[in-house]
């Protein structure tokens, strides 16, 4: 989804709308770590998925998984990486 926000700048001490900035909103369903839950699964809900990320500590690699909704705002998530190819 694309949101267009006005950009405000100070000109001679006064605030003016001078241009527009295009801000792209991201959703969990666009993230490479989002995996939709299959329709035949017990916890299936439309739009629901699992966020599955690989982590590593001194003992080795492991996976973190948590349920997320595809329409969840990913803008505040520091792990978001855009999925390549849709
Ligand atoms: S919670 Fe973060 S890492 Fe997980 S699917 Fe959403 S944006 Fe991606």
For residue 59, the enclosing domain spans 2-69
**Residues 38-63 pLDDT 10s:** 999 999 999 999 999 999 999 999 99
In a domain, 77, yes or no: no
In a domain, 81, yes or no: no
Over range 12-25, report the average pLDDT: 68
In the reported structure, the alpha carbon of residue 81 is separated from the centroid of ligand 1 by a whole-number distance in angstroms of 8
Predicted pLDDT of residue 46:
97
Please list every protein residue whose CB sits less than 6 Å from any atom of ligand 1: 28, 31, 33-34, 51, 53, 68, 74, 77, 79-80
Both tokens of residue 22? 């295009």
Is 49 in contact with 32 (CB distance < 8 Å)? no
In a domain, 50, yes or no: yes
Number of domains, the chain: 1
Judge if pTM exceeds 0.75. Answer: no
């Amino acid at each position: 989804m694309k949101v267009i926000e006005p950009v405000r700048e100070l000109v001679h001490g006064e605030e003016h709308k001078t241009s527009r900035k295009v801000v792209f909103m991201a959703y969990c369903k666009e993230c490479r770590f989002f995996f939709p839950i299959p329709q035949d699964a017990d916890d299936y809900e439309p739009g629901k998925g699992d966020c599955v990320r690989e982590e590593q500590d001194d003992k080795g690699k492991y996976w973190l998984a948590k349920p997320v909704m595809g329409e969840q705002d990913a803008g505040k998530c520091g792990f978001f990486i855009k999925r390549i190819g849709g």
